[in-house]
């Protein structure tokens, strides 16, 4: 399987750290977030990874060039941010018309990719994607999923004040080619997964729950928590 790691964000909530360091390169115990992702995926069934850059691309490019995984990574620079779905569409050829893993590289996570892929293979027949979930301690800052007994998403609440639960979207997905077909049908250069793609597929999204560890490193507070927890 191939994967796209979304790494082009500005990381404004992590300033002043991200004044000089791109968000995906923020270190946890001295190791960049991107490094954790590369080691996790390449050691567990992912054969090639595409990483998009935009803000402060040089540290990302230098890190990849010095990595043992460099020959298996494609770097794509975006002069203008395309949005999470826009990046996928722009790099549709990379997907090779196969199921594709997509993840936000500014999250810190620990899970078994082989189990995630197996869950996608065994998904309910109507589902065209599998979305990783986790239990969040800040549900108002996340997309909260309501799922049925099969683990299929029946409703979705994106960053609302009083969401019905703590089962959150981890922003790690496996998409079938038909999802990318839908993104293309929107006929937009800039497009977002959470707000413009997921709502269309309610009832067709299988979930895979990460009960091990997952945290969005979106703020200085979450960074400090990750340093203590991980």
pLDDT-above-70 percentage for the chain: 100
pTM value is 0.92
pLDDT tens string 118-138 = 999 999 999 999 999 999 887
Angle at 196 between CA 204 and CA 221, to 5 degrees: 100
Q: Determine the pLDDT at residue 210.
A: 96
SS3 227: helix
* CATH number for the domain that contains residue 173: 3.90.550.10
pLDDT tens-digit map of 11-31: 788 788 888 989 999 999 999
Work out the pLDDT band at 158, boundaries 50, 70, 90.
confident
What pLDDT, in 10s, does the model give residues 40-66?
999 888 999 999 999 999 999 999 999
- For residues 184 and 89, is the Cβ–Cβ distance under 8 A? yes
Q: Whole domain around residue 216: which residue ranges?
A: 2-229
**What is the total count of domains within the chain?**
1
What percentage of the chain reaches a pLDDT higher than 90? Answer: 71
């Amino acid at each position: 399987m191939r994967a796209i790691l979304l790494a082009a964000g500005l990381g404004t909530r992590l300033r002043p750290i991200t004044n000089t360091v791109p968000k995906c390169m923020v270190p946890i115990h001295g190791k960049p977030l991107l490094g954790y992702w590369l080691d996790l995926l390449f050691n567990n069934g992912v054969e090639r990874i595409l990483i998009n850059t935009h803000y402060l691309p040089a540290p990302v490019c230098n890190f990849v060039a010095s990595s043992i995984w460099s020959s298996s990574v494609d770097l794509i620079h975006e002069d203008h941010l395309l949005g999470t779905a826009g990046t996928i569409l722009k790099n549709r050829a990379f997907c090779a018309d196969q199921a594709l893993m997509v993840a936000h590289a500014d999250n810190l996570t620990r899970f078994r990719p082989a189990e995630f892929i197996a869950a996608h293979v065994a998904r309910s027949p109507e589902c065209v994607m599998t979305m990783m979930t986790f239990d969040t301690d800040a549900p108002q800052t996340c997309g909260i999923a309501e799922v049925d007994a099969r683990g299929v998403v029946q409703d979705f609440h994106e960053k609302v004040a009083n969401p019905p639960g703590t089962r959150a979207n981890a922003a790690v997905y496996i998409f079938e080619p038909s999802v990318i077909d839908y993104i293309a049908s929107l006929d937009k250069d800039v497009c977002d997964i959470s707000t413009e793609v997921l709502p269309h597929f309610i009832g067709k999204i299988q979930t895979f729950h990460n009960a091990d560890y997952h945290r969005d490193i979106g703020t200085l507070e979450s960074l400090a928590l990750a340093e203590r927890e991980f």
